[in-house]
């Protein structure tokens, strides 16, 4: 159909408001600034820090965190939250350790697929039952922990033959840990897929304004389920990384990664209200969190402060990046 | 009386009867006492969280706050780490510490406009960190006679902890019924914008509700310390989620404006009877959390069904 | 009947100072002048009616009177004293209170608590409730208006009419704050009431006059004339006249609300007569839902059908149901003779149906996203080759529509929220056109909040689209808009189609013909 529309221009003002304010610009570079400042501070505090060995160690710690945060970022971009990622990763480490002897190389994809399916299931529960995402994933968290405890009989499952996952411990070019490379590949993959397909529009629209997205015919429900599915898959991949490093699976192995992962997402500048943000930001956020983690002992702060720092960071970063215009009443 | 009010007590009776029929162990006097004792701490924590849920907010900080208050009380009463022996005063300080953390959550919500689930997640982490700092690698074992006796000595068949919990429920109910704070918490969950329109400044009440909840968690931490005989960072592990489960199962809506302390008391008994009963009939205790996860999702879904609309935004 | 338009007072008898007076109130919103120098006088112990079409500025004026909106210019006088009203509380302190259209009661509190809310006085001492005192206070208030509601009943268990009584009892609490007779504003209090309840309400209003001044706002002009002493008519953000109600008829009022000029723009008529094939493009039979019953509707290709009706007539929900955004309980929807199942909005989009929601900012567009993304949000295929977005294809497509619709934007990548309202609306409309497969457009108040220039552009666009064969369902912002644009008008009343009025060029019905069926 050709629509012969030739409306004459009217004397309407072209634009109303100006561009982003200085505060907005500052927060959008926040993760990079924080990263630079931290690196500089740590180097001053300990000149040894900028050596290949300690950087390698830091980046190996960062890899599972990056993957976890990248997956959960998609859920946050849709306007929800996934509190189950750490527990899902923990139960995945148990599955992997149990399945490795029998499935061998197939255990890795199997674990990732199962984790993806579990994530999707949470998404379906959220969408179909109309339960807020934080309560679905909070419920999921305790269910996964229970399953992990039962399956592992509340103990560590040792991996005797890790030959099929040992490749994650290799180094690319002799310096860059394979796990970090994989983590970066995941981030690149997600962001490229989003960029070249309509998915980016759909996710942003869902996150910024779900009702507008729905009334524009966006597949809001599918997008959300997909986000939870990817988040689950990433938790599975993070579990593989953890097992390859620890040579074992345990029902609580990844539990302490929930706060750092949430902190990474919000420090990166992804708004908890949805829409605004990216997986790249979460990568930067994860690096910031990792530097804080390895840096605290270097500057002589007891590691007990780590938790306090995460808590403070989460509150502060959410406060800075929140889209206040969207929520009139904040509960 | 709607099914929503009648449902949880009915479910409690049914579950109790079913387990009693299945297991002779379950229906023993000893086990009933166990159930009541096990419900004590959860009841106190749930009492606090109920006020937050009534407003339509959420509180994930119980675990951290309880850890901090547990360490506070164990280091202030007679213990093996230092020479403090403040007795009842220490308990007061621990409750105040809890209230302080709650106040911080409320301030973050009101002034920084951080959604409560994020603010309290952060405060929980801070609480755990503070507890870890106080723990300092050496477990403080308490030797304070009074605090230890709470968990051991019984009055009319129930431990002192159970009576404390009962007293908390009564106090909670009085607050809910007879104070402006309690009624406004209820009203904020019902229609916050109307309160504002009527010239009520809701912010102070929100902060006060979180502070009140924090005080209850603080007392919960003290009670756990009495049970364990020592102050542990993990004192509150799992209580945050169990309390939300209990409140929701009791009929408090996550969207606010419905439910209350008495509903939550029924919810606490439901959760405790269910977990105790499952163990008695031979289910692995590891499933405990999983069962709670399932029932909270089911309870929320059941509560949401009657009000579903197309095009509704659920985050 | 006597009609005074902009007349200077000529009497020399000293007039008692008015309870409330408004002079030259101005309020701008981006792109619109909601109030353009309104004058209003509320005398002591009178019931003043406020009439005006949608968008005439009524609600903005009322909000300014209770401190919810701060005017850009102008003065408000209470008993001759100039006042600044910055909040509901300040307005209450000056004795001005309002019963809001969407009821402002907390549903899960008791009636008594709602009545004393915000000014509990002796009912709460040091934060502690004294239920007996509260009940007494509330009972006093309810006695004033002769209501027999149990003060301790939970508000959400009361009937709608009883809740309205509670609202009035609550508003009357402002007497405690100011020594003078209060001014009570009632905003559309009758819109959801049954006729018997309305009669009771009117008795209350007449009783209120004994000790207060009342401002009464309603869509139903017969009611306004029935209960008020005097009516002030608003149009385009200005007060255009004043009518003493004794002997007046609704027709006179309505003429003032519409005005004699300004409508010529709409009456150009459609470029081409609609193609009336034997089969209508859209055919709806017996459609029923939560707020509408048994709706039949036919729209031919190239035809514009307007649905008119008062607030609560159910027309908005019919529109959303046709887009799959509102569930239906019975009836069928046929597109070109084929039955349509609409479980959700996706199915409607796939069937070539487009919907422009009334709430542009929250439902129509995604503010922070770019013009290009907003325009291609629905018809992704139009900017993709295969599953991938083709940036060049998108750029060409979007730029061509920006120029075809003369959308004024710095570029296709500008966030849509930075455009003016009219240009935003054109982008939202373009969203349904870029696919080239649009068959039926559902326009829910497409010109709401737009200035005159932007409005006429949207009208022109609607006509172009109709001329090219698109079937259109229009929920117009005003009756004159419906009459000017439509080929046919359906009047909805209380969830049912009450009448169908042909609206051809040269034979347009008058607004009064429609109003008769609406109320």
Instruction: Locate all alpha helices (DSSP H) within C327-478, ordered by sequence.
Output: 345-350, 371-375, 391-404, 421-433, 452-467
Q: What pLDDT sits at residue C290? A: 87
Instruction: Tell me how many degrees the CA angle C406-A1-C389 measures, rounded to the nearest 5.
Output: 70
Of C367, C408, C464, the CB nearest to A208: C367
- Residues in chain B with CB shorter than 8 Å from the CB of C326 are 310-311
Full-prediction pTM beyond 0.90?
no
A303 touches chain C (CB under 8 A): no
Best of C94, C109, C328 to mutate (most B CBs within 10 Å, chain B):
C109
State the pLDDT at residue A12.
38
Q: Which residues on chain C are in Cβ contact (under 8 Å) with B197?
A: 88, 100, 104
Give the tens place of pLDDT for each residue, A249-294: 999 999 999 999 999 999 898 988 888 999 999 999 999 999 888 8
Chain B residues lying within 8 Å of A314, measured CB to CB: 118, 121-122, 125
Report how far residue C327's alpha carbon sits from residue C318's, in angstroms, rounded to the nearest whole number.
Answer: 10
CB contact under 8 A, C369 and A213: no
A223 neighbourhood in chain C, CB within 8 Å: none
d(Cα B247, Cα B57) in Å, to the nearest integer?
13
Work out the mean pLDDT of chain A and round it to a whole number.
87
Token readout for C483 is: 């009459």
The single residue listed with the structure tokens 């500057």 is: A299
DSSP letter for each residue of B148-184: HHHHH-EETTEEHHHHHHHHHHHHHHHHHHHBHHHHH
Sequence-separated contacts (24+) of A52-61 with Cβ below 8 Å: A52/A175, A54/A294, A56/A171, A56/A175, A56/A176, A56/A177, A57/A294, A58/A290, A58/A291, A58/A294, A59/A176, A59/A177, A59/A180, A59/A290, A60/A177, A60/A179, A60/A180, A60/A245, A61/A290, A61/A293, A61/A294
Cβ of B286 and A150 within 8 Å? yes
Displacement of CA B31 from its chain's centroid (Å): 22
Sequence-distant (≥ 6) Cβ neighbours of residue C467 within 8 angstroms: A4, C270, C271, C272, C302
R_g of chain C computed on alpha carbons: 25
Token couple for B50? 């109920």
pLDDT band at A2 (very low <50, low <70, confident <90, very high): very low
Would you state the pLDDT for residue C179? 75
CA distances, B45 to each of A4, B52, B186, C206, C398 (Å):
67, 11, 18, 54, 57
Chain B's closest residue to A330, CA to CA, is B115
Interchain contact A198–C (C-beta under 8 A): yes
Contact C344 B310 (CB under 8 A): yes
**Cβ-defined contact of C113 to B187 (cutoff 8 Å):** yes
Q: Considering only residues A294 and C4, tell me which one the structure prediction assigns the higher pLDDT.
A: A294
More confident residue, A302 or A74: A74
**Residue whose token pair is 């989620």:** B241
Which chains form contacts with chain C, at 3 or more CB pairs under 8 Å?
A, B
Among A207, A315, A323, pick the best mutation site for testing chain B contact (most B Cβ within 10 A): A315
pLDDT of residue C320: 93
Distance CA A139, CA B300 (A): 11
Q: Which of A15-24, A182-191, B49-58, C102-111 has the lowest mean pLDDT?
A: A15-24
Tell me which chain A residues have a C-beta less than 8 angstroms from the C-beta of B301. 125, 129-131
**Digit-coded pLDDT (tens) for A123-160:** 999 999 888 898 999 999 999 999 999 999 999 999 98
User: Does the pLDDT value for residue C449 go beyond 90?
Assistant: no
- For chain B, 315 residues long, give each residue's pLDDT as a single digit of tens: 455 677 888 989 999 999 999 888 888 988 998 899 889 999 999 999 999 999 999 999 999 999 999 999 999 999 988 988 898 999 999 999 999 999 999 999 999 989 898 999 999 999 999 999 999 889 999 998 899 899 888 888 889 999 999 999 999 999 999 999 999 999 999 888 888 888 888 999 999 999 999 999 999 999 999 999 999 999 998 899 899 999 998 988 888 888 899 999 999 999 999 999 998 888 888 998 898 899 888 888 887 776 665 556 666
Sequence-distant contacts of A32-35: CB under 8 A, at least 24 apart: A32/A284, A34/A267, A34/A288, A35/A284, A35/A287, A35/A288, A35/A291
For residue B195, list chain C residues with Cβ-Cβ distance below 8 A: 106, 117-118
> Where do the structural domains in chain B lie, given as residue ranges?
41-300
pLDDT greater at residue A8 or residue B138? B138
Q: What is the pLDDT of residue C268?
A: 53
Whose CA is closest to A77, among A314, A212, A269, A312? A269
Confidence (pLDDT) at A14? 39
Pick from A58, A61, A59: nearest CA to A246: A61
Running DSSP on this structure, what letter comes out for residue C370? B
Q: How many CB atoms lie within 10 A of CB C28?
A: 14
Find how far residue C42's CA is from the centre of its chain: 24
Question: For residue B233, what are the contacts with CB-CB under 8 A and spacing of at least 6?
Answer: B67, B70, B71, B128, B131, B132, B135
Phi, psi dihedrals of residue C99, rounded to the nearest 5°:
-95, 115
Supply the pLDDT for residue C371. Answer: 95
Chain B, residues 74-113, CB within 8 A of chain C, namely none
Cβ within 8 Å, pair A318-B118: yes
**Beta partners for B79?**
B142
Spell out where B15-71 has E strands.
Answer: none
* Chains adjacent to B (≥3 CB pairs closer than 8 angstroms): A, C
Residue C67: per-residue pLDDT: 87
Q: What is the DSSP string of B75-120?
A: HHSSBSSSS---THHHHHHHHHHHHHHHHHHHHHHHHS---HHHHH
Task: In whole angstroms, give the CA distance from residue A20 to residue A23.
Answer: 8
**Number of neighbours of residue B13 by Cβ within 10 angstroms:** 11
- Contact yes or no for B279/B267 (Cβ under 8 A): no
* Nearest in space to B169 (alpha carbons), one of B231, B220, B105, B94: B220
Pairing of strands C238-244, C3-4: antiparallel
- What part of A 264-303 touches B (C-beta under 8 Å)? 266, 272, 274, 302
B123 contacts A322? CB cut-off 8 A? no
Alpha-carbon distance C420 to nearest alpha carbon in chain A (angstroms): 6
Cβ-nearest to A139 among B118, B294, B308: B294
- Judged by CB atoms within 8 Å, which residues 315-334 of C form the interface with B? 320, 325-327
Residues in chain A: 331
Q: DSSP state, C399?
A: H
- C415 three-state secondary structure: strand
Smallest CA–CA distance from A122 into chain B, residue: B297
Say whether A314 and B116 touch across the interface (CB within 8 A). no
Buried b (16+ CB within 10 A) or exposed e, C141-177: bbebbebebbbeeebeebeebbbbbbbbbbbbbbbee
Q: Which residues contact C124 (CB under 8 A, 6 or more apart)?
A: B180, C130, C134
Distance from CA of C384 to the nearest CA of A (A): 8
**Range in C4-8, C68-72, C478-482 the model is least confident about:** C4-8
Map out the domains of chain C with their CATH numbers: 1-7+14-95+181-260 (3.40.50.300), 108-176 (no CATH), 264-352+439-518 (3.40.50.300), 366-437 (no CATH)
Tell me how far apart the alpha carbons of residues C62 and C217 are, in angstroms, rounded to a whole number.
9
Distance from CA of A136 to the nearest CA of B (A): 6
Q: What is the mean pLDDT of residues C416-422?
A: 88
| Domain B41-300, CATH number (from 2.60.40, 3.30.420, 1.20.950, 1.10.3470) | 1.10.3470
Rounded to an integer, what distance in angstroms lies between the CA atom of residue B182 and that of residue B118? 24
- pLDDT of C425 strictly over 70: yes
- The count of CB pairs under 8 A between chains A and C is 150
Type and span of the H or E element at C71: none
* Answer CATH for A49-317 from 3.30.70, 1.10.3470, 2.60.40, 1.10.405: 1.10.3470
A331 neighbourhood in chain B, CB within 8 Å: 55-58, 115-116, 256
H/E stretch holding A204: helix A199-208
When the pLDDT of each residue in chain C is averaged and rounded to a whole number, the result is: 84
- Per-residue pLDDT reduced to its tens digit, C219-260: 777 788 888 889 998 888 888 888 888 877 777 777 777 665
Please tell me which chains touch A, using 3 or more CB pairs under 8 Å as the contact test: B, C
Residue B81 burial (CB count, 10 A): 16
How much is the pLDDT for C5? 45
- In the three-class reduction of DSSP (H, G, I as helix; E, B as strand; rest coil), residue C292 is classed as coil
């Amino acid at each position: 159909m050709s629509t012969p529309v030739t409306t004459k221009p009217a004397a309407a003002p072209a634009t109303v408001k100006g561009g982003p304010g200085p505060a907005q610009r500052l927060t959008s570079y926040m993760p990079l600034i924080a990263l630079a400042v931290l690196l500089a501070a740590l180097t001053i505090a300990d000149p040894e820090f900028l050596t290949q060995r300690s950087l390698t160690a830091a980046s190996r710690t960062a890899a599972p965190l990056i993957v976890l945060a990248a997956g959960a970022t998609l859920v946050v971009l849709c306007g929800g939250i996934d509190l189950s990622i750490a527990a899902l990763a923990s139960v995945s480490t148990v599955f992997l350790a149990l399945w490795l002897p029998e499935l061998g190389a197939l255990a890795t994809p199997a674990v990732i697929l199962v984790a993806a399916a579990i994530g999707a299931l949470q998404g379906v529960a959220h969408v179909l039952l109309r339960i807020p995402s934080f309560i679905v994933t909070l419920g999921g968290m305790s269910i996964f922990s229970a399953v992990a405890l039962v399956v592992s009989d509340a103990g560590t499952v040792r991996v005797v033959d890790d030959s099929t996952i040992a490749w994650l411990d290799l180094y690319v070019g002799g310096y860059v840990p394979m796990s970090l490379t994989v983590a970066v590949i995941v981030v690149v993959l997600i962001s490229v897929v989003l960029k070249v397909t309509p998915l980016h529009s759909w996710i942003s629209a869902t996150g910024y304004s779900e009702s507008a997205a729905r009334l524009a015919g966006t597949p809001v429900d599918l997008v959300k389920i997909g986000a939870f599915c990817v988040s689950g898959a990433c938790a599975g991949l993070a579990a593989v990384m953890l097992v390859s490093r620890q040579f074992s699976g345990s029902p609580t192995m990844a539990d302490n990664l929930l706060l750092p992962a949430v902190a990474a997402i919000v420090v990166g500048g992804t708004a908890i209200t949805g829409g605004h943000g990216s997986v790249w930001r979460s990568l930067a956020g994860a690096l910031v969190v990792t530097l804080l983690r390895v840096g605290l002992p270097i500057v002589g702060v007891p590691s007990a402060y780590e938790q306090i720092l995460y808590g403070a960071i989460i509150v502060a970063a959410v406060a800075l990046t929140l889209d206040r215009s969207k929520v009139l009443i904040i509960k | 009386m709607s099914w929503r009010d009648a449902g949880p007590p009915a479910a409690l009776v049914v579950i109790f009867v079913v387990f009693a029929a299945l297991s002779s162990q379950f229906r023993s006097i000893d086990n009933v006492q166990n159930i009541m004792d096990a419900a004590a701490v959860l009841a106190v924590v749930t009492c606090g969280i109920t006020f937050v849920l009534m407003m339509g907010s959420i509180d994930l900080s119980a675990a951290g706050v309880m850890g901090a208050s547990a360490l506070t009380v164990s280091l202030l009463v007679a213990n093996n780490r230092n020479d403090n022996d403040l007795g009842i005063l220490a308990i007061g300080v621990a409750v105040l510490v809890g209230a302080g953390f709650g106040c911080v959550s409320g301030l973050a919500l009101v002034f920084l406009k951080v959604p409560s689930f994020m603010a309290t997640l952060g405060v929980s982490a801070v609480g755990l960190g503070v507890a870890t700092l106080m723990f300092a690698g050496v477990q403080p074992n308490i030797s304070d006679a009074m605090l230890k006796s709470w968990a051991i000595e019984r009055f009319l068949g129930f431990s002192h902890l159970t009576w404390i919990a009962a007293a908390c429920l009564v106090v909670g109910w009085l607050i809910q019924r007879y104070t402006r704070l309690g009624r406004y918490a209820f009203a904020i969950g019902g229609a916050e914008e109307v309160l504002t329109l009527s010239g009520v400044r809701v912010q102070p009440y929100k902060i006060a509700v979180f502070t009140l909840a924090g005080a209850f968690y603080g007392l919960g931490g003290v009670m756990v310390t009495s049970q364990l005989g020592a102050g542990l960072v993990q004192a509150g592990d799992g209580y945050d989620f169990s309390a939300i489960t209990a409140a929701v199962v009791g009929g408090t809506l996550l969207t606010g404006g419905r439910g209350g302390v008495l509903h939550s008391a029924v919810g606490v008994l439901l959760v405790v009877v269910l977990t105790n009963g499952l163990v008695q009939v031979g289910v692995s205790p590891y499933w405990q959390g999983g069962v709670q996860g399932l029932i909270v999702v089911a309870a929320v879904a059941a509560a949401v069904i009657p009000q579903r609309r197309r095009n509704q935004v659920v985050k | 009947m006597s009609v005074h338009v902009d007349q200077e007072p000529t009497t020399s008898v000293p007039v008692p100072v008015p309870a409330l007076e408004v002079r030259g109130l101005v309020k701008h919103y981006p792109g619109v002048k909601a109030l353009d120098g309104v004058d209003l006088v509320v005398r002591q112990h009178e019931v003043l009616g406020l009439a005006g079409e949608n968008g005439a500025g009524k609600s903005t004026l009322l909000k300014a009177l209770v401190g919810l909106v701060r005017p850009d210019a102008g003065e408000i006088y209470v008993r001759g004293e100039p006042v600044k009203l910055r909040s509901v509380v300040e307005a209450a302190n000056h004795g001005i209170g309002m019963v809001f259209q969407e009821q402002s009661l907390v549903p899960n509190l008791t009636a008594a608590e709602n009545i004393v809310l915000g000014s509990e006085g002796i009912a709460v001492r040091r934060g502690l409730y004294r239920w007996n005192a509260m009940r007494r206070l509330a009972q006093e208030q309810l006695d004033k208006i002769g209501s027999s509601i149990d003060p301790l009943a939970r508000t959400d268990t009361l009937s709608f009419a009883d809740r309205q009584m509670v609202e009035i009892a609550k508003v009357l609490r402002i007497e405690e704050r100011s020594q003078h007779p209060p001014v009570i504003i009632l905003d559309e209090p009758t819109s959801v009431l049954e006729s018997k309840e309305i009669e009771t309400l009117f008795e209350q209003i007449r009783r209120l006059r004994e000790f207060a001044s009342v401002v009464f706002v309603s869509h139903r002009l017969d009611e306004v004339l029935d209960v008020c002493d005097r009516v002030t008519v608003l149009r385009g953000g200005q007060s255009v006249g004043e009518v003493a109600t004794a002997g007046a008829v609704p027709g006179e009022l309505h003429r003032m609300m519409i005005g004699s000029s300004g409508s010529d723009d709409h009456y150009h008529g459609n470029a081409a007569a609609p193609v009336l094939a034997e089969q209508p493009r859209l055919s709806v039979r017996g459609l029923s839902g939560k707020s509408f019953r048994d709706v039949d509707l036919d729209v031919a290709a190239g035809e514009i059908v307007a649905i008119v009706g008062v607030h609560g007539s159910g027309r908005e929900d019919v529109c959303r149901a046709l887009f799959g955004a509102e569930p239906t309980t019975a009836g069928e929807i046929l597109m070109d003779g084929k039955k349509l199942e609409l479980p959700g909005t996706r199915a409607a989009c796939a069937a070539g149906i487009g919907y422009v929601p009334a709430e542009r900012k929250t439902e129509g567009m995604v503010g922070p996203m770019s013009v290009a993304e907003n325009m291609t949000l629905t018809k992704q295929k139009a900017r993709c080759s295969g599953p991938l977005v083709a940036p060049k294809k998108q750029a060409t497509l979007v730029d061509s529509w920006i120029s075809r619709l003369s959308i004024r934007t710095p570029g296709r990548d500008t966030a849509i929220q930075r455009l003016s309202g009219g240009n935003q609306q054109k982008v939202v409309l373009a969203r349904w056109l870029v696919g080239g497969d649009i068959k039926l457009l559902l326009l829910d108040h497409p010109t709401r909040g737009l200035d005159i220039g932007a409005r006429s552009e949207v009208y022109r666009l609607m006509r172009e689209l109709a001329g090219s064969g698109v079937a259109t369902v229009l929920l117009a912002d005003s009756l004159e808009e419906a009459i000017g644009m439509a080929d046919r008008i359906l009047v909805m009343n209380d969830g049912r189609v009450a009448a169908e009025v042909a609206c051809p060029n040269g034979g347009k019905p008058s607004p009064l013909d429609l109003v008769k069926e609406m109320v």
